[in-house]
Amino acid sequence: MTVRLSLLNGGRTELTNPQLDELRAMFHGPLVTREDPGYDESRAVQNGMFDRHPGLIVRCSGAADVIDAVRLARERDLLVAVRSGGHGIAGHSVSDDALMIDLSAMRGVWTNPAERTVRVQGGATLADVDRESQAFGLAVPGGVMSTTGVAGLTLGGGLGWLHRKYGLTCDNLIAAEVVTADGHLVRASGTENAELFWALRGGGGNFGVVTAFEFQAHPVGPTVMFGCAMYAAADANEILPAWRDWTAGLPDEVTSRVMLWSMPATPLLPREVHNRDVLIVAAVHAGSPDDGAPALRPVGRFGTPLADLSGPASFRDVQRSLDFMFPKGQLRSYWKSVTLNELGDDVLDVVLRRGLHRPHPRTLVHAPQLGGAVRRMGPADTAFGDRSAAYIVSIDGNWTDAAEDAATMHWVRDAFHEVQRVPSAAGTYLNFGGDRELDSATRQAAFGRNLDRLARIKRDFDPENRFRLNNNIQPR
């Protein structure tokens, strides 16, 4: 048996059995080829669109395996895909014939309650972090789905239930350990490799493989006030403007979002919403439940909800509350998002029209509020770029049948362009982006003036663009 692998220059190479045996003796974690049991499981990612076949998967057990995998890629000039949680919408983390550096077995998390810091291995999920940090009444701001990988989320920004109080996930990064393209592990923080550290906070997977993250954590939970009211979608024309006006005066403790979606018939949800098109108004208060209760009371009072699930909830349950809507590998997904300086009636008009006529029940139109701590960082403070936007509208195409790929992707692009045309449209959030190749306008919209600096840092740390299966920034 031989293993076929893509080269960086587009050519092909092969590894013979004796070469593989030699590698197997070197790596601590298993090497998985097409012939090995577990290959299909190891190459599976969240987005069911990507049925790709890497040439070789290195299931890394620690930083040493990552170092050797990057050195192997360098010696043989291999194309590399880096996978952690496997949630990337664009499917960059799995690629045909690539060397897949898979960190999903590196999920250790250690909390230091005295310092309020959390050290996280590169393949951990948000659920892993919540488990270990909530035991000490601490939280690292993450995303809204507990199965998402910390790595991709952090490197691209990180929006969730706490961002208005404590900032993006990347804003809470204190340090990272990174295997750069030359196969060496370096530490990046405010005082070590500071340019690399700047780039890791929003610049994506361009600069190397992160084997460990260190985060600042904050006292949150274990019980928080959760607001979640489900209204009939037909009432959205009245509720959306009322929600928008309410969010304008919210304290930073509250992070809120709306979603136009369809609810499945599942025992996890009240019967009143089974198979119904709904407008979900959701919010979390980052303080005590006593303070949160009055602050979130309006969530269920914008009209008459079909169901109001609001109440005190464990923070970990809130973090897991949407997981059931995204069973791994079962949905095909293509998302695009626009950041907006305000949510004018022109935007709400598009949100409504599109949200009420979605191509598939699992497709949603999702609008989180930004502002608060996100906005308090300057555009050049991290690679993430401009923070002035007040909201995001994300058109999240999710469907099940491959025959509907073209039509649904077309619908998502069309809706995205409609939002993009309103005068308050500002940029885009790449973590909510489904395009494998970024066009230059999208890259510019995401990084703005930070792009030149990112390109220089890319040149310093990855001059050959070895790490190119990502929201790619060319070295310059």
Ligand X SMILES: Cc1cc2nc3c(=O)[nH]c(=O)nc-3n(C[C@H](O)[C@H](O)[C@H](O)COP(=O)(O)OP(=O)(O)OC[C@H]3O[C@@H](n4cnc5c(N)ncnc54)[C@H](O)[C@@H]3O)c2cc1C
Q: Which residue lies nearer to ligand X by CB, 58 or 306?
A: 58
- Closest approach of Cβ 145 to ligand X, in Å? 4
Residue 64, helix vs strand vs coil: helix
Q: Which residue lies nearer to ligand X by CB, 143 or 475?
A: 143
Q: Please tell me the distance from the alpha carbon of residue 20 to that of residue 26, in angstroms, as a whole number.
A: 10
Residue type at 36 in one-letter notation: D
Any idea which residue has 């919540």 for tokens?
130
- Closest approach of Cβ 85 to ligand X, in Å? 2
**In the complex, residue closest to ligand X by CB:** 152
Q: Which residue lies nearer to ligand X by CB, 89 or 389?
A: 89
- Closest approach of Cβ 396 to ligand X, in Å? 8
DSSP H or E stretch at residue 27? none
Q: How many CA atoms lie within 13 A of 157 on its CB side?
A: 22
* Strand pairing category for 223-232 and 311-314: antiparallel
- Closest approach of Cβ 350 to ligand X, in Å? 22
Structure tokens at 361: 């029940």
- Closest approach of Cβ 289 to ligand X, in Å? 22
Q: DSSP string of 112-168?
A: ETTTTEEEEETT-BHHHHHHHHHTTTEE----S-TTSBHHHHHHH---SSSHHHH--
Note the residues at the interface with ligand X (CB under 6 A). Answer: 45-46, 82-89, 92-93, 103, 122, 143-145, 148-149, 151-153, 155-160, 204-205, 209-210, 326, 431, 469-470
Residue 271, helix vs strand vs coil: helix
- Closest approach of Cβ 170 to ligand X, in Å? 10
Give, rounded to a whole angstrom, the gap between the first and last alpha carbons of the chain.
40
Q: Which residue lies nearer to ligand X by CB, 29 or 306?
A: 29
Neighbours of 108 (CB within 10 A): 15
Q: Which residue lies nearer to ligand X by CB, 27 or 242?
A: 27
Q: Which residue lies nearer to ligand X by CB, 122 or 305?
A: 122
- Closest approach of Cβ 398 to ligand X, in Å? 8
Q: Please tell me the distance from the alpha carbon of residue 70 to that of residue 82, in angstroms, as a whole number.
A: 10
Residue type at 62 in one-letter notation: G
CA 334 to chain centre: 13
Q: Which residue lies nearer to ligand X by CB, 158 or 355?
A: 158
